[in-house]
Amino acid sequence: MRKRNMFEKIDGGDIKAYQEKDIYGPQIKDKDGELLDQHDSFYITTKSLLVLFQIMGVMPIMRVHRQTQTTKRTTYNWISKATLWAYLVWSLESIIVVKVGSERLANFQQNSNKRFDEVIYNIIFLSILIPHFLLPIASWRHGSEVAIFKNMWTHYQLKYLKITGTPIVFPNLYSLTWGLCIFSWALSFAVILSQNYLQDDFELWHSFAYYHIIAMLDGFCSLWYINCNAFGTASKGLAKNLHKALEAEHPALKLAQFRHLWVDLSHMMQQLGRAYSNMYGIYCMVIFFTTTISLYGSLSEILEHGLSYKEMGLFVIVGYCMTLLFIICNEAYHATRKVGLEFQMRLLNVNLGAIDRSTQREVEMFLVAIAKNPPIMNLDGFTNINRELFTANISFMSTYLIVLMQFKLTLLRHGTKVVKKIVSTIFNTSTTLAPDDEEYDE
């Protein structure tokens, strides 16, 4: 009513009052359940990754039967079949993880009197095991939020189709998702087997505790990449239909509908960060800690003994972790730019002189909506995912590395002085004993 009164004050003769239901688009009801499944292109093209997560027990969400009349097409329940399977898989994996972790911990305690650089290798591989134990807290606990995010995508596509008259097409997303599922496990085997080859104390049976963890990290990175790609595709399609809306019979109404479509897209981006906040938060912390310790260990060994296979193994871990972090930050940046700045630029380029006053007002309200609902990837208030996060991590890691390397160089200098004292002491002792020996001979 407030919008209608505002329009009537501007140009009451030319503006046709439209109902609120027309602005928000068609209402989706329970009887539209089968229709939602039919037009859920995003679920169809990315189903392979969802099934992989179910098999691995990472995210046990389920899809309801096609004929079920409900708008909630994706559900989560603590006692569903998928969740019970996740309990079983996680318990079996925990056996080997606990066994390997306890051996690493015992080795860490036994080597406590040795050099810090030797002990640090156990810390690195212990830190990689942490995501497995945090999976129930970080991932399963937010299963209901993930189901909300999936349902938002499902509703958005049908609403988009009814308003614009064209569906959202995700080109090559089906083959890309399958490729990422296979690549996630292939990369996991490659990274872990390289450690078995390059690290002397990394036994082959230890690798079975790490395969599913690295594959899980790869899977979450793939999930982030796919969602960011989908956001960009949806925003691009919406921008293409923007000029058609301005040429429609009621451009003000069409722009109002497009505005609500855009706001829904922005809310979905925020819901993605909220749904996976704990998982990606732990993800970033493990990457930060592992990368810092690995870099210190490799640089420290190079200073003392030069480059060897062990340091090459640590560089593999560093490169792997930093690549994952860069992909997540970079894709979030591109998605935010496509949905926010690039769409905003299209609105600013609209020729206001060629449209009526009510449409001009809708353009202004659209720009205000973009400013008030920024499409950001936020981990439930902890941090924003963008390129700035990547550079901040590099800055923090550099600071810690400088401090650690200063301690290392100090120890090396003290060690050199101790060696010199020992040598001089031995030399002085031998020279003082020489005259006594001559007197004894006489």
Q: What is the mean pLDDT of the chain?
A: 81
Collapsed DSSP state (helix, strand, coil) of residue 63:
strand
Q: What is the pLDDT of residues 52-83, one digit of tens each?
A: 999 999 999 998 888 788 888 899 999 999 99
Sole residue written with tokens 């920024």: 374
Q: What is the pLDDT of residue 87?
A: 95
What are the Cα distances from residue 434, in Å, to 300, 428, 437, 438, 441?
Answer: 42, 10, 5, 7, 11
Q: What is the pLDDT of residue 117?
A: 58
Within 13 Å, how many C-alpha atoms sit on residue 122's CB side? Answer: 18
- Number of Cβ atoms within 10 Å of the Cβ of 414: 10
Maximum distance among all Cα pairs of the chain, rounded to whole angstroms: 132
Collapsed DSSP state (helix, strand, coil) of residue 12:
coil
Cα gap 408→302, rounded to integer Å: 12
Cα gap 297→348, rounded to integer Å: 52
Q: What is the pLDDT of residues 25-51, one digit of tens each?
A: 667 777 777 888 888 899 999 999 999
The amino acid present at 161, given as its one-letter code, is: L
More confident residue, 300 or 168: 168
Cα gap 426→422, rounded to integer Å: 6
74-75 and 62-63: which strand pairing? antiparallel
User: Domain locations in the chain?
Assistant: 91-137+171-428
Q: Are 280 and 220 in contact (CB under 8 A)?
A: yes
CA 96 to chain centre: 26
Cα gap 253→21, rounded to integer Å: 11
Written as six digits, the tokens of 102 are 């306890």
At residue 440, does pLDDT exceed 50? no
Q: What is the pLDDT of residue 428?
A: 52
pLDDT band for 433, please (50, 70, 90 cuts).
very low
Q: Are 313 and 120 in contact (CB under 8 A)?
A: no
Sole residue written with tokens 């060629």: 354
Of 41, 46, 81, the residue nearest 60 (C-alpha) = 81
